[in-house]
Structure 1
Amino acid sequence: MGVEWVKKSFLVILMMLLAFTMSACGNTSKAVQKTEDGKVIVDFWYALGGNLGEAVTQMVDEFNASQDKVHVNAVYQGSYEESLTQLRQLAGTSNAPAVVQVFEVGTKYMIESGYIEPMQTFIDKDKFDLSQLEENILSYYKVDGKLYSMPFNTSNAIMVYNKDMFKQAGLDPENPPRTFSEVSAAAKKIRSHFGTNVHGFSVVTHGWFTEQMIANQGGLYVDNNNGRSGEPTATSINGEEGQRWFKWLHEMKQDGTLGDYGRAWDDHRAAFLGETVAMYLDSTASLAGTVTNAEFEVGTAFLPTADGMDPQGVIVGGASIWMMTDIPKETQNAAWEFIKFTAKPEVQAKWAANTGYFPITKAAYDQDVLKDRYNEYPQFLTAVQQLQNTSVTPATQGALIGVFPEAREKVVNAVESIHGGADPIEAINKAAEEINAELENYKRVNQK
């Protein structure tokens, strides 16, 4: 009996040692992969489909053709959420990528995941000049002065409106509304002129816009300087800034000027292109398609802000590129060459011209391809000016929380309840309680 127990114990210990050894292998567990002609292979996961995805592969193809040391293999992983789920499952294995695109609200999760090597490591080693990049964009991905990922596709939220409908309703198409009350007044005029089948205003049911509207008033999403000076313990979305936003949505819903086109971004865009809504909030990333496909003149404007308040600016949206830590140094160095390529002025100018995203590099604005695009579509300049007018504060840097996808879902449910007739203050307070519960659970699970 004693001998059998010793044997079993020895086997258990041996298996534990083997597992520890395998997990400790880290960088050495994944060999450098090379093409037949000796180029280092860099697997790059991205999460942009359609025309945006085509622009990604075009950029990758141009990098591969520009040199003979590295070959980037771009692999589409579905949506941001799907890509991050896949990364969670495969990180640390031979099937994980070297570089991955992750949406902005995954920042805190990625920093704490143990998957990544901070971009600052390569910036310092290579003496890469960060001053050539837009500080208002870098500020989101910097924590304690360290850049963890390289901004890739960057957008912000703007208001889009139908200039022709404005003219027909007696509104000034060159002077779009800038405040909550001005939007409401314009929406009522639109509805009065075109009838009850047309809505004056809509916003996709997505948590991002609540984040933007709170930040534009200078409000925080969570405590501890939006989670940037310490672990957040409570949300602030039901403060006065969030309450103003929810009350305004409720008022427009009550008077019939707010259209409900659901959670799908394309449904709001279709309503706008079909001229059943005259104004709506959208991401700059889709602006090119909207302007091109519209059979009327499209106008763009800054995000409206609460009456009597100066706009503080916007939080950047989109995604950034992250470097994995458990890959060979040779692969990391090869991936860094690709990442530097993506930030070149001529590359950023072409990327911005083709997609509608912002260039992250200041000198990109001097490139002819982008100048020509902005001359053809001056609507893009609204978003550029809005970003450049943004004051960098903890509010506009954006929140760092580990449960952002879950928090956004709570906010989405709250906005949907307003469309269903709920009291706006009760709705936002309920969302705040649910987010606080998520924050508490995250803290408990991730206590070190």
Structure 2
Amino acid sequence: MKINRSRQTWSLLSLCLFLFLAACGGGQSTTGSTAATGTTADAASETSTGPVKIVWWHSMSGDLNKVVDELVKKFNDSQKDVQVEAIFQGDYDASINKFKTSMGSGSGPTMLQTYDVGTRYMIDSQAITPMQQFIDADKFDTSQFEPNILKYYTFDNQLYSMPFNTSNPIFYYNKDAFKKAGLDPENPPKTLDEWEAAAKALTKDGQTGMSLPIYGWLMEQMFASQDATLLNNDNGRTALATESQLGSEPGVKFLTWWKKLIDEKYMLNLGRKTDDTKKAFAAGQVAVTMDSTASLRGLISSTEGKFEVGTAPLPKVASSDIGKGGVVIGGASLWIMNDKSAAEQQAAWKFIKFLAEPEQQAYWHVNTGYFPITKAAYNEDLVKENMKKYPQFETAVDQLHNTKIDTATQGAVMGIFTEARQLTETAIEEALNGSKSPQAALDDAAAQITQKLKDYNDTVSP
């Protein structure tokens, strides 16, 4: 992954051209829709021969793909300077692998949606233009954006990509089962000990108290919940991470608790597939589970007529952790490629600004369940009506806003994140099935992650 000199030279030339054109555009008088969208002289010059075409690679499948297509159509119909072609490229892993294959060939997209854990790789690839350069050149106001969301993609006060689909994890619980067990459905547990007590009370009549998917994201969240970093060098944010801290006390505490409930039959181990835990929850097989906020509407729909779904913030490991830490956002963001012309990059920026508008964010949120990235979207009638219909989502909003921003809750970044998650999930499995103690399993995984970090860092030129 050493820097390609020809690409670097092209990147610098492209950037210089972009800044020159942006400066020229900045001196023009702009009013009405032109001012709102920030059209530059560069983009406008293309209109004489037709609109600037940009290609967007994304990973939104099924119903999400339909929402993406609607937003693209709305943008394309709203103006004549830019036309967007959105192309589904498979899941995040498939999409980023196609992107890697396209690098240096000119066959890649103008903009790419990729998952949060791809952030370090995208920066190190030398293939992107940081979003901050467009923000600064356009004097674009980000003050209305959710700071907890922006911070994940910010390094050295530079926003590298624009957040797009954003979520965080919450606990889902069966309110009817809570009532039958003598628990207060309006006052869900707040700590692991309290959830353990609830799981014991809920395990009866063929129902098991809880099931958590074996998912590396959950372990990452429990570190942040304890205001602890998963990697050294401030979670890889002040310098490239060189060591995994997976085997430290925060991870061992959580995994030890998890195994205890499995051993005592108050929790089911349904493996790595989150869909399996969701199905068990919807069927009443388990009373409590953890999943993304983006699953809210689906879980409510699948349980309609069976029981009422309650939501609770991710628990603290101990009562002493209350008021500390929080959650790390998940999801994906949008990146602009630096091997495209200044006109194409500026056109992509125009489209990204459109997607960030409150009206578009409200539509995206209501139709997908992902967070709006701008606080102004909550003032839209569409969102207000949706919140009345799904008041459970307030848990996610409060959890986001109550999260203290620091390097623990900003989230870990590393170029081998997908491999690290797989190793973490293997460690969880080893602990839960008793082949290793929680400490040994996490220590072994941490050692392997640390070695992979070294191997990765050796490929990145300083």
- So what's the TM-score if we normalise by structure 2? 0.88
Give a deviation string over 1:293-341, Cα, whole Å, max 9, x none.
Answer: 2131000000011123214210000000000000011111111110000
> Which of 98, 103, 107 lines up with 2:110 in the alignment?
98
Partner of 1:205: 214
- 8 Å Cα contact 2:174-2:310 kept in structure 1: yes
How far 1:58 moved relative to its partner? 1.3
State the distance in 1 between where 2:292 and 2:370 align: 9
| SS in structure 2 at match of 1:75 | strand
State the distance in 2 between where 1:443 and 1:351 align: 37
The amino acid that maps onto 1:297 is: E
> Which of 194, 198, 206 lines up with 2:205 in the alignment?
194
Give a deviation string over 1:262-297, Cα, whole Å, max 9, x none.
Answer: 121211111111111111110011111111221310
Give a deviation string over 1:12-58, Cα, whole Å, max 9, x none.
Answer: xxxxxxx9879966678xxx9x9998121110011121222221111
- 8 Å Cα contact 1:187-1:199 kept in structure 2: yes
Partner of 2:422: 409
- 8 Å Cα contact 1:47-1:83 kept in structure 2: yes
State the distance in 2 between where 1:90 and 1:35 align: 28
> Which of 226, 234, 242 lines up with 1:225 in the alignment?
234
Partner of 1:320: 333
> Which of 66, 77, 84 lines up with 1:72 in the alignment?
84
Partner of 1:419: 432
* Larger Rg, first or second structure (1 or 2): 1
> Which of 244, 248, 260 lines up with 1:239 in the alignment?
248
The Cα RMSD (Å) is: 1.9
The residue correspondences of 1:12-411 to structure 2 (distance < 5 A) are: 38-191=50-203, 193-195=204-206, 198-294=207-303, 295-308=306-319, 309-310=321-322, 311-411=324-424
- 8 Å Cα contact 1:35-1:41 kept in structure 2: no
State the distance in 2 between where 1:51 and 1:419 align: 35
More displaced 10-residue stretch of structure 1: 323-332 or 400-409? 400-409
State the distance in 1 between where 2:270 and 2:285 align: 11
The amino acid that maps onto 1:358 is: F
Cα distance change of structure 1 residues 25 and 179 upon mapping to structure 2, 3 Å threshold: closer
State the distance in 1 between where 2:213 and 2:170 align: 12
Give a deviation string over 1:108-164, Cα, whole Å, max 9, x none.
Answer: 110110110000110011000011211110000000000000000000010011111
What are structure 1's unaligned runs of at least 5 residues? Answer: 1-18
How far 1:93 moved relative to its partner? 2.2
- 8 Å Cα contact 2:174-2:308 kept in structure 1: yes
| SS in structure 2 at match of 1:322 | strand
Partner of 1:8: none
- Paired positions, count: 423
| SS in structure 2 at match of 1:277 | coil
How far 1:74 moved relative to its partner? 0.4
How far 1:62 moved relative to its partner? 1.1
Partner of 2:442: 428
The amino acid that maps onto 1:235 is: S
- Poorly superposed stretches of 4+, deviation over 3 Å: 19-28, 34-37
Give a deviation string over 1:211-269, Cα, whole Å, max 9, x none.
Answer: 00011100001111111111211111211111111111111111111211212121111
State the distance in 1 between where 2:386 and 2:5 align: 55
Partner of 1:442: 456
The share of aligned pairs that are identical, in percent, is: 45
